[in-house]
Structure 1
Amino acid sequence: MGAGWGRPQNCAGVIPKGPDGGKGSGGAAAARASTLLRPNSAPSPLRSPGAAREDACWRPGSRAQRPQGLRSRGMEEQLPWETDCLLPLERQLHEAAHRNNTTRMKELIERRVNIRSRNHVGRVALHWAAGAGHEQAVRLLLEHGAAVDDEDVFGMNALLLSAWFGHLRILQILVNSGAKIHCENKDGLTLLHCAAQKGHVLMLAFIMEDLEDVALDHADKLGRTAFHRAAEHGQLDALDFLVGSGCDHSVKDKEGNTALHLAAGRGHLAVLQRLMDIRLDLEERNVEGLTALHVAAEGLHLNCVQLLLGAGSNVNALTQKEQSCLHYATLSGSEDMARALIHAGGCTNLADHQGASPIHLAVRHNFPALVQLLINAGSDLDATDNRQQTPLHLAAEHAWQDIAEILLVEGVNLNLRDKQGKTALAVAARSNHVSLVDMIIKADRFYRWEKAPRATRSMATGCCSSGCMVWPRRVKTPVKHSSRALWPSAERT
């Protein structure tokens, strides 16, 4: 066996790279395509593998925020050569195919390199040539026996890749070579889904007009049609084409999301406006009870929220968990979003399934500025949740001193007790939050001083010589009490 044909002992070992091989006759277009499609890259972005994980992590109405660091690992994202597990000459064939270097491809084919060799994700040379749009390379591979319907481990074949990347001529060649047009990948994406998601209108037109029996409203495994995909990914032209072709506007996916939910969740303002123009129901709810306004608020898409509010969306609509849009805005800590919702009539005192109003959530997640905004909008500071905790109880539990000071300055009932019978002072003392205990005690003295008749006010009750109380003020240096010494005063409160 020649030295060039030996398989490395360990795929993780160092494997010499194949030659560049030039760019062949593809010219500048081939050079651009080569940056998008490399044999040693990760799988196609066509739901493989990142997109499926992204849908699992995020959906309209899920409490999980859309992941910032996680994105679909597309073909443009390279992986080390050492992971492809190809023979050296097989790797060179893949490289030549993606660069449209037909001269090198012919040399390798003459040396009987396996034309259907697969890399670590099951991708063959035809996949790279089709995805990069190289007509000459595709024809050469087909002439020498490449299987037109070979799939990678994600169910992607050359036909689906050509639709995804918008290479209409490649798709036509593959169809004429006998490719199955009613194919789909392992997530159920068809040619129509691929073209719609990437916004390839000419590809959509060819699929609908020239291919037989293509189902316009075929759903993938998430229950989403091409119309959903175009809306979710902000492809306005593709959306218009599908609408003009007579697709079902009101269809829902398996989570009950309409195209309106998907566009609002991704912040696609132009698509959202178009969907409103065709009169999709603004109050349609998904299985979790979220409207498009909830989804836009959760995604922090302020422009979409303002558009929906202007169109008459119900700002106080509640989900299955009795959460309003203001709850979602509060969980994100967005003052601008909360301000817009309040200005549109959002109620600050609606309680969710756990009895928490927006101010409970703002306190729990330590958003002082948002707490002040909600107070200014009329939030009930003595409202209790299902644990009978007030916002001050939560501030004491988490030792949020800035928020506690805001609440105490506004004036709260210090005698309210939670389900364990503890006041906010007792909660702070139990956790040994000394500064907070001192602050609550001073506030209690001030409240008593305010209620006392003016004639009875004295220095003994906390009045200074000028007649005003030494409150509010920030306690910068904690008073040196032990936890044991704090308990008696806390328990009496």
Structure 2
Amino acid sequence: MLRVLQMSGEEVAAVPAEELSDVKALKQRLQQQHGMPPRFRQRLLLHDTQAILDDTAELEGGMTLQLLLLNFNEPSQAATDELTTAASHGSAVQVESILLRPEDPDLEDAHGKTPLVAASVFGRLENARLLLEARADIHKAGEFRQAAGQPPWAVQPLWAASHHGHVDLVQLLEASADKDWAEDRQGRTALIVASDKGNSETAKVLLGAGADRDLAMNQGFTALMLASQKGHSNTVKVLLDAGAKKDLATDHGVTALIFASLNGHSQTVRVLLEAGADTDLADSEGCTALILASGKGHLETVLLLLEAGASKDLARNMGYTALILASARGRVEVARMLVEAGADKDRAGHHGTTSLMAAARGGHAGVARFLLLEAGADKDLADHKGRTALTLASKAGHGEIVTLLEDRKRPRLQ
């Protein structure tokens, strides 16, 4: 049996020597099972000689050791900077040697960064493991700078690791860290920032650890919305499989499906639709996913929404339907798809503007030709000021459309 005594002579522990490989293992047991400080602050001395044992020294039965506990060195900016630099760019051997002096693992360097945050940013798993063994505060925030030239802000280690997609570090940190801590600039949690970056494996680990899948950042953005906005379809699927609410909206009424549709992320749109996302929800301006996708000319997205049963003739606040908006922006193939799906070709907006009028005013001859010659749009309808498509095209100087409309007015010879 190996005995460990305090310097006062009081026994700390009696341990079978065969259960321990070396002095380092004994120190770790004293920390974990007997409430002693981390091994970096422990020194074990041979009772008879007072010689300090190296961590690699082997142990024998019958030995009596004395335990000396050290305080941290006086805070030194140079030493703290050295530890933070080693944590981010150095080896585990370097970090361990600095901690053994012993140095406080929670002091900030000259830029406000803690060693554990530094290790988390750069994905230094073993360095982070050593810092946690030294009882670095897993919740202490340190400086984080997203890009050169940008002002820094304070983030916690789990957040930093999630931002950079260091899955192994996230797995190490998540057991003890606050999964739903949010940085104070935009209110982003670790899950939100991982989803925004498309780090699907990181998101999976965080969700498995109990991160709130629907917690929103400033202006109501959730992890699902940000992943959808960026087109990270794998991350979107991970979030949906974990039960994320698919139809939540931002403060301006924008849902995940609207984000994905606006940006033409067809694979993400497909994933959301398969999960049952509501196709007809509208944002604060009355725009549905179909209206926005049509205006942007995202043909595949429009097709997916139509196949999912999106309402073709819903109108945004100014009365523009998907077809009117597509026509106003010259999206001829989208217009064709909408008409073939049954969209009302002569429906007018709040000021009486039809799809043909919108195309004529915008000078979109291809759309005007399709609506007039193939879809059979009524060329004689007038808006609230009495202007027809011909009037609008003439005023805007779109000669090709004027010719097209005038030609259609001429009677055909039998």
TM-score by length of 1: 0.58
Q: Deviations over 1:104-142 (max 9, x none)?
A: xxxxxxxxxxx97xxxxxxx8876654334456767999
Q: Deviations over 1:178-232 (max 9, x none)?
A: 96641144445321111123332332243344x6xx3221112322211222333
In structure 2, how many angstroms separate the alpha carbons of the residues matched to 1:364 and 1:158?
56
Q: Does 1:216 align with 2:179?
A: yes
Q: Does 1:281 align with 2:245?
A: yes
Structure 2 unaligned runs (5+)? 1-76, 144-151
Q: Does 1:241 align with 2:205?
A: yes
For residues 217 and 261 of structure 1, do their structure 2 counterparts lie closer, same or farther at Cα, with a shift above 3 Å needed?
A: same
The number of residue pairs the alignment matches comes to 323
In structure 1, what is the equivalent of residue 399 of structure 2? 434
Aligned-residue offset at 1:393: 1.8
Q: Deviations over 1:382-433 (max 9, x none)?
A: 2222332212222222211111111111222223223433221111111222
Q: Does 1:194 align with 2:153?
A: no
Q: Does 1:343 align with 2:302?
A: no
For residues 332 and 263 of structure 1, do their structure 2 counterparts lie closer, same or farther at Cα, with a shift above 3 Å needed?
A: same
Match of 1:165 among 122, 125, 132: 122
For residues 416 and 174 of structure 1, do their structure 2 counterparts lie closer, same or farther at Cα, with a shift above 3 Å needed?
A: same
Match of 2:283 among 302, 306, 319: 319
In structure 2, what is the equivalent of residue 303 of structure 1? 267
In structure 2, what is the equivalent of residue 402 of structure 1? 366
In structure 1, how many angstroms separate the alpha carbons of the residues matched to 2:379 and 2:208?
63
Match of 2:316 among 327, 330, 352: 352
In structure 1, how many angstroms separate the alpha carbons of the residues matched to 2:110 and 2:385?
61
For residues 431 and 125 of structure 1, do their structure 2 counterparts lie closer, same or farther at Cα, with a shift above 3 Å needed?
A: farther
For residues 244 and 323 of structure 1, do their structure 2 counterparts lie closer, same or farther at Cα, with a shift above 3 Å needed?
A: same
Q: Does 1:462 align with 2:408?
A: no
**Superposition pairs of residues 416-427 of structure 1, within 5 angstroms:** 416-427=381-392
**Superposition pairs of residues 54-65 of structure 1, within 5 angstroms:** none
For residues 167 and 386 of structure 1, do their structure 2 counterparts lie closer, same or farther at Cα, with a shift above 3 Å needed?
A: same
In structure 1, how many angstroms separate the alpha carbons of the residues matched to 2:115 and 2:409?
74
In structure 1, how many angstroms separate the alpha carbons of the residues matched to 2:310 and 2:244?
23
Aligned-residue offset at 1:250: 2.6
In structure 2, how many angstroms separate the alpha carbons of the residues matched to 1:423 and 1:156?
66
**Superposition pairs of residues 15-54 of structure 1, within 5 angstroms:** none
Q: Deviations over 1:76-121 (max 9, x none)?
A: xxxxxxxxxxxxxxxxxxxxxxxxxxxxxxxxxxxxxxx97xxxxx
Tell me the C-alpha RMSD between the 2 structures: 3.1
In structure 1, how many angstroms separate the alpha carbons of the residues matched to 2:214 and 2:134?
37
Q: Deviations over 1:140-187 (max 9, x none)?
A: 9998x99951254xx655532320221023335556789664114444
Match of 2:340 among 372, 376, 394: 376
In structure 2, how many angstroms separate the alpha carbons of the residues matched to 1:433 and 1:349?
28
In structure 2, what is the equivalent of residue 363 of structure 1? 327
Is the 8 Å Cα contact of residues 149 and 180 (structure 1) preserved in structure 2?
A: no
For residues 225 and 333 of structure 1, do their structure 2 counterparts lie closer, same or farther at Cα, with a shift above 3 Å needed?
A: same
By percentage of residues, which structure has more strand?
A: 2
In structure 2, how many angstroms separate the alpha carbons of the residues matched to 1:398 and 1:127?
60
Is the 8 Å Cα contact of residues 148 and 177 (structure 1) preserved in structure 2?
A: no
In structure 1, how many angstroms separate the alpha carbons of the residues matched to 2:90 and 2:234?
30
In structure 2, how many angstroms separate the alpha carbons of the residues matched to 1:187 and 1:385?
47
In structure 1, how many angstroms separate the alpha carbons of the residues matched to 2:255 and 2:126?
41
Aligned-residue offset at 1:356: 0.8
In structure 1, what is the equivalent of residue 23 of structure 2? none
Aligned-residue offset at 1:352: 0.4
In structure 2, what is the equivalent of residue 43 of structure 1? none
Q: Aligned partner of 1:197: which letter?
A: H
Is the 8 Å Cα contact of residues 342 and 348 (structure 1) preserved in structure 2?
A: yes
Q: Deviations over 1:290-344 (max 9, x none)?
A: 2222222223222222222222222122222221110121132111110111111
In structure 2, how many angstroms separate the alpha carbons of the residues matched to 1:358 and 1:171?
53
Is the 8 Å Cα contact of residues 415 and 423 (structure 1) preserved in structure 2?
A: yes
Is the 8 Å Cα contact of residues 133 and 162 (structure 1) preserved in structure 2?
A: no
In structure 2, how many angstroms separate the alpha carbons of the residues matched to 1:129 and 1:367?
56
Match of 1:183 among 141, 145, 148: 141
In structure 2, how many angstroms separate the alpha carbons of the residues matched to 1:429 and 1:350?
30
Q: Aligned partner of 1:429: which letter?
A: S
Identity between Structure 1 and Structure 2 (%): 27
Moved more, 349-358 or 326-335: 326-335
In structure 2, how many angstroms separate the alpha carbons of the residues matched to 1:372 and 1:127?
61
For residues 141 and 417 of structure 1, do their structure 2 counterparts lie closer, same or farther at Cα, with a shift above 3 Å needed?
A: farther
Q: Does 1:132 align with 2:83?
A: no
Aligned-residue offset at 1:246: 2.4
